[in-house]
Structure 1
Amino acid sequence: MQQQIISITAIASISPLGNTPEAIWEKYLDENHCFTEHVLDHKKTFVAKLDSDSEQVVADLTASDSKYKFLDKSVLYAMAASRKAMQNAGWTQNDIFGINIGSSRGATDLFEKHYQEYLKTGKAQTLSSPTTTLGNISSWVAHDLQSSGPEISHSITCSTALHSVLNGVAWLRAGMADKFLVGGSEAPLTDFTIAQMRALKIYSNVNNYHPELVEWPNRALDLDKKQNTMILGEGAGVCCLEIGKKANSLAYIEGIGYATEVLEHNISISAEATCFQKSMKMALQNTDSSEVDVIVMHAPGTIKGDLTEYKAIEKIFGESLPLLTTNKWKIGHTFGASGILSMEFAILMMQHNRFVGVPFAKAQIQTKPIRKVLINAVGFGGNAVSVLLSL
């Protein structure tokens, strides 16, 4: 069934890549990663932090309102990206639009600080609860933008941002809104969060180097790697959705798909990623698979995660695979924000008509214009989302 078209009229982000389309695209074109060393339990590990320009954007934002100094980074990142997206879309305070910005972890840093203070003093600060609830991301974005539409925040692990896109599309197609601001934000670079990932034995281990990890510590899309290499990154991304075909659209949402599979383990999906097969098939129900030029994979850099998604793609596309890429080798896994950053990557490749692959993966040659890109995301629980974009 053909659905009413959805236009993406702006997309904006703040991440280790920067906070402007020009800076972000320039970073994508070089073959250097954005990881820096971080010491945890007297051992070195890797993280991907905001670049210095983006840190200044956040500092300026905090200085713009005295109330903002009490907010978590996940909220501030979302606010910074949302300001830019709204400006780029030409939306004003007179426009009524919904907001759905989610997060996998939410106010991790602030929650941990409040809890540590409670352990020391036996008292909780007045604002410790309202500033650490997940819903405060969208509510503070609404406050900052002075919007008057519905506000939603949710957490569906690492596919959160793409679930926000699904939700925005549903509101628009249901006629309940004409415009929606959707995305995800994550600030997970805390010792406790990193320790949790290391406990799962999926984090890249700088203290147990294989030779190939020296240059590229996250081996996303290396299907022959012998150890897990996930690395955490931070950032936020949002896009402006509008119902109908707009003159200022950057891209169109041509198809959406979603699926959940029965859990075999808390962190795993099936050997051939049944959830991804279903979500991709749904997203492509009105499109021949041969029309897809590029797939931006979820590919977190884990052995099973990368391989099972690849097998799912083979099941759907057969021997004629589209060009395959991911950005996690460069900026790490930004949890709930990762899907929207992948959408931004897809839009940039379509705008510049240039495929950007993974430097250590098998070389792939672009032979035709990039007109349609499929984006995948999945999280703990096997909750896959696929979004098909077109120019």
Structure 2
Amino acid sequence: MKRVAITGLGTVNPLGNDVNTFWDNILNGKSGAGTVTRFDPSPFRTHIACEVKGFEPEKYLDRNEIKRSDLFTQYALYSAAQALEDSGLDVKKLDPFDIGVIWGVGQGGMETFENEVEGFVKGNYVSRFSPFFIPRLIVNMASGMISMKFGLQGINYTTVSACATANTALMDAFNYIRLGKAKIIVAGGSEAPITPASIGGFSAMKAMSTRNEDAATASRPFDVNRDGFVMGEGAGALILEDYDHAIARGAKIYAELAGAAMTADAYHMTSPHPEGIGAAKAMQLALEEAGIAPSELDYLNLHATSTPVGDIAELNAVNRLFNGSANLWVSATKSMTGHLLGAAGAIEAILAIKSITENTIPATINVEQLDPTIPAGINIVVNKPLQKTVNTAMSNAFGFGGHNASVVFRRF
């Protein structure tokens, strides 16, 4: 099996429209949350979200690309352009069939769908749909447009596994390169879910925080008073490259993607298994593939979304597998970014990689009082970053439907 290197990173998210800004804001414990500005959220229980700020798609996209694409695709193109630029690859000098795109999207063009259907209904069912309605809407358009923009003709498709989606994309890209079916793959995920239907739907489920008067502290994983997640948006892109190919061209290598695995809870449509059985197995399998013992893992970026049930279920899984490992430290960066749904795993993979390159573990902010039901012996980084040598890091992503996906990175 071939080895897989990470040679480029790119992002647009509530804490920054490039990796360096994102990392700086993470280290400073900044919250990306505020009152929704894109529409009037007052009809719903939840009025807050983590919106992208100051997004200027013109930096990487031309006018036609912007006109023809939903925001989730614009985020994908923007972050992919950054990651390719960061990698130093000159794709025009490479065989285009050696370079693929595997991209994760959970919901797709929700804004496009809502606007088009609303216009049709308001027009008494006689108004004309835009010819770009379907191309802007469908979830695979992000991977398709990345390939078109950069002339990448290798493997190309979109993964959908709810909030585990981006990790699924990374796992698939990892395996295609290991099997020798691609030399380079642009992988990651994007989401643009801050729309009336998305906020309204999750709000109706009572899945989101209603701490509307104090948005910055609303996302509070592990805190005894947590009351739901805060919606986020954006994208993260990673360049996965055949290790030998990267070495031969003298590439900058951030880390090695060493293991990845998925399992299913087979338990409930929206709730994780309370004992974390499936989550623990996904982590175990990913570590085994990487050849890393549980006692050797340095950092785990948890999926923890700040929901009463989900956070404890995941920590039960951690307790089941790691059994109080003194070496392991965990944190939940969704306390700052909010929950980016299908893009969450991508930006959290970037943070796991940065923890290795910078020997710094990001904190979980907004923790005032730890939930007393948290299993004993788990080291949680709370309220300020931890300086620690990080040679190995894992990132978890779990989704509605019982999808569990874990990826493991190792120092180059």
- TM-score when scaled to structure 1? 0.92
1:367 Cα offset (Å) = 7.4
Give yes or no for contact 1:35–1:46 (8 Å, CA) kept in 2: yes
- Measured at CA, do residues 29 and 198 of structure 1 come closer, stay the same or move farther in structure 2, by a change above 3 Å? same
1:153 is paired with a residue whose SS is: strand
What is the identity, as a one-letter code, of the residue corresponding to 2:353? I
* TM alignment of 1:35-184, pairs within 5 A: 35-38=33-36, 39-42=40-43, 45-52=47-54, 55-56=55-56, 58-62=57-61, 64-91=62-89, 92-95=91-94, 96=96, 97-121=99-123, 122=125, 123-184=128-189
Give yes or no for contact 2:335–2:366 (8 Å, CA) kept in 1: no
What is the identity, as a one-letter code, of the residue corresponding to 1:375? S
Match of 2:195 in 1: 190
- Measured at CA, do residues 254 and 150 of structure 1 come closer, stay the same or move farther in structure 2, by a change above 3 Å? closer
* Alpha-carbon separation, structure 2, partners of 1:17 and 1:148: 32
Match of 1:324 in 2: 330
Percent identity, aligned pairs only, is 24
* TM alignment of 1:248-287, pairs within 5 A: 248-263=252-267, 265-285=268-288, 286-287=291-292
Q: What are the Cα deviations for residues 78-126 of structure 1, in whole angstroms up to 9, with x where unaligned?
A: 0001111111112223333010112101111111111111212323222
Give yes or no for contact 1:323–1:366 (8 Å, CA) kept in 2: no
1:20 Cα offset (Å) = 2.4
Give yes or no for contact 1:221–1:325 (8 Å, CA) kept in 2: no
* Alpha-carbon separation, structure 1, partners of 2:121 and 2:50: 30
What is the identity, as a one-letter code, of the residue corresponding to 1:279? A
- Measured at CA, do residues 186 and 325 of structure 1 come closer, stay the same or move farther in structure 2, by a change above 3 Å? same
1:273 Cα offset (Å) = 1.6
* Alpha-carbon separation, structure 2, partners of 1:83 and 1:366: 31
Q: What are the Cα deviations for residues 146-165 of structure 1, in whole angstroms up to 9, with x where unaligned?
A: 22222201211001100001
* Alpha-carbon separation, structure 2, partners of 1:129 and 1:231: 29
- TM-score when scaled to structure 2? 0.87
2:93 is paired with a residue whose SS is: coil
Give yes or no for contact 2:50–2:233 (8 Å, CA) kept in 1: yes
Match of 1:29 in 2: 27
Match of 2:375 in 1: none
Give yes or no for contact 2:259–2:286 (8 Å, CA) kept in 1: yes
1:232 is paired with a residue whose SS is: coil
Give yes or no for contact 1:158–1:377 (8 Å, CA) kept in 2: yes
- Count of matched residue positions in the alignment of Structure 1 and Structure 2: 378
What RMSD in Å do the two structures reach over aligned CA positions?
Answer: 1.9
Gaps of 5+ in 1: none
What is the identity, as a one-letter code, of the residue corresponding to 1:108? M
* Alpha-carbon separation, structure 1, partners of 2:277 and 2:121: 44
What is the identity, as a one-letter code, of the residue corresponding to 2:92? Q
* Alpha-carbon separation, structure 2, partners of 1:276 and 1:75: 30
